[in-house]
Structure 1
Amino acid sequence: MGLFGSKRDDGAFGLVSGSFPDPATDIDAAADKGVAVLAGGCFWCVEAVYLELDGVRSVVSGYAGGSPETADYNSVCSGRTGHAEAVEIRYDPQKISFGMLLKIFFSVAHDPTQVDRQGADVGPQYRSAIFYADDEQKRVAEAYMAQIDDAGVLDGAIATTLEPLEAFYEGEDYHQNYAARNPMQPYIAFTAAPKVQKLYKLYPEKTKGR
């Protein structure tokens, strides 16, 4: 079963009928630095989604929120480091905006209503978080969270935290591009693949069109 082979769509968790709005507030492309750090559960899944977006140049899986001494997989898995599994997304602001990355984050990449978990992955290292690099990213994130809350497209309160980005630490080599390299792995087939499938279903015009 390949990355698009699963018939299951578990991306509907936390959602009710209705469409996520486009961001009413965004960063002007000329002022956008083109780097975002987001955490939404297992980084394999989040990475798999963002690698499919047109305008995304690279996605790196790693850690944010803790100290450099504990920025390794074994330590982070303890849930006591302050780190979250996160991805660093580098993108072309002329093709895709920070606000649109957030729309994908909330509507496809994970369930923003779960607290310190994503499905069976439990612990603060799997929390939903936006690590903002500057005041502009924080402003846009706050505005979009309020916008989707007002739109009533979630069936629970948003659990996503806004945290200042102190540093992003690149994860181990074997975590990079994991879903594409391991499409037959059960977790990828049943958790990551449906998210990618949902991305293509909801936003085909935003994808690289494989």
Structure 2
Amino acid sequence: MTTSDSFFSRRRGALGLLAAGVAAAGLFAWQRPAYSLRTDEAVTLPAPAMDEPAGTAHTETAVFAGGCFWGVQGVFQHVRGVQKAVSGYAGGTADTAQYETVSSGRTGHAESVQVTFDPSQVSYGTLLQVFFSVAHDPTQLNRQGPDSGTQYRSALFPANAQQKRVAQAYIAQLEAAHAFGGPIVTRIEDGAAFYPAEAYHQDFLTEHPSYPYIVINDLPKVGNLKRVFPSLYRDDPVLVKAASAS
């Protein structure tokens, strides 16, 4: 099995024949079967009480980790104001930022997405609201749906002290409101470098919408973004490969 092919085997696991059957049946996000294995349903959360102040900058970056990066990237690519969303690794070192190595769960890396956005169009606080509402389940410790291991942890990698304060305040706000059925396990990790993932991981949701893992676990997230945040949703995603080609 080649490196470019081996990542497919990781996603089979618990999905097995169920996922293949769903794909064969041609089910889409709005036809999601009742027996889906995905459990991280969308929740409607309050907006952050604290957010970054408005500034003059038109470009800012933020890094989010919430399980498999395919779905997290796919969600943010459909958010208005996002200029780019790149799948990658954060939390470990440069020499281990490689898919097969990260998949061992021993590198310290988390599958992550670096989001470049225009803060005059969408704030960091709003991106946090999207992240906690529809992109993942922040109560799952070191796992997300069918994927388990520290590389699938829920984590935020703030780019500066201001982002850290906003993230800490929002988690505290959600905990005080008992927004979830269990405690939020999202970690805030400082000083972590981000390393882009291999090209075959980029834009995966858009390029492989019928892939069983995407059908069951990730297309519903994009559908929930459109339903919960209609003013933020845009039909055409910002794609990494399109930006690289321009």
TM-score (norm 2): 0.79
Greater relative contact order, per chain length (Cα 8 Å cut-off, separation 6+): 1
> Which of 219, 227, 237 does residue 193 from structure 1 map onto?
219
> Secondary structure of 1:90's match?
strand
Which 4+ stretches in 1 moved above 4 angstroms? 1-6, 8-12
The alpha carbon displacement at 1:13 in A equals 3.2
> Which of 172, 181, 187 does residue 155 from structure 1 map onto?
181
Q: Is the Cα contact below 8 Å between 2:89 and 2:196 reproduced in 1?
A: yes
The match for 1:20 is 45
Amino acid in the other structure paired with 1:198: N
Amino acid in the other structure paired with 1:75: T
Q: Is the Cα contact below 8 Å between 2:65 and 2:153 reproduced in 1?
A: yes
**1:106-164: CA deviation from partner (whole Å, max 9, x where unpaired):** 11000000000001100000000000111101100000001111112200000000001
Tell me how far apart the structure 2 counterparts of residues 189 and 14 of structure 1 sit (CA, whole Å). 15
Q: Which moved more, 1:173-182 or 1:30-39?
A: 30-39
Amino acid in the other structure paired with 2:46: P
Amino acid in the other structure paired with 1:23: P
Equivalent positions of 1:120-159 (< 5 A) are: 120-159=146-185
Alignment pair present for 1:69 and 2:83: no
The match for 1:206 is 232
**1:146-200: CA deviation from partner (whole Å, max 9, x where unpaired):** 1111112200000000001321000000000000000110000111100001111
Q: Which moved more, 1:26-35 or 1:175-184?
A: 26-35
Alignment pair present for 1:100 and 2:126: yes
The change in CA–CA distance for 1:148 and 1:14 in structure 2 (over 3 A counts) is farther
Q: Between Structure 1 and Structure 2, how many residues are aligned?
A: 208
Q: Is the Cα contact below 8 Å between 1:42 and 1:85 reproduced in 2?
A: yes
Q: Whose Rg is larger?
A: 2
The match for 2:8 is none
> Secondary structure of 1:205's match?
coil
Alignment pair present for 1:115 and 2:141: yes
Tell me how far apart the structure 2 counterparts of residues 78 and 209 of structure 1 sit (CA, whole Å). 35
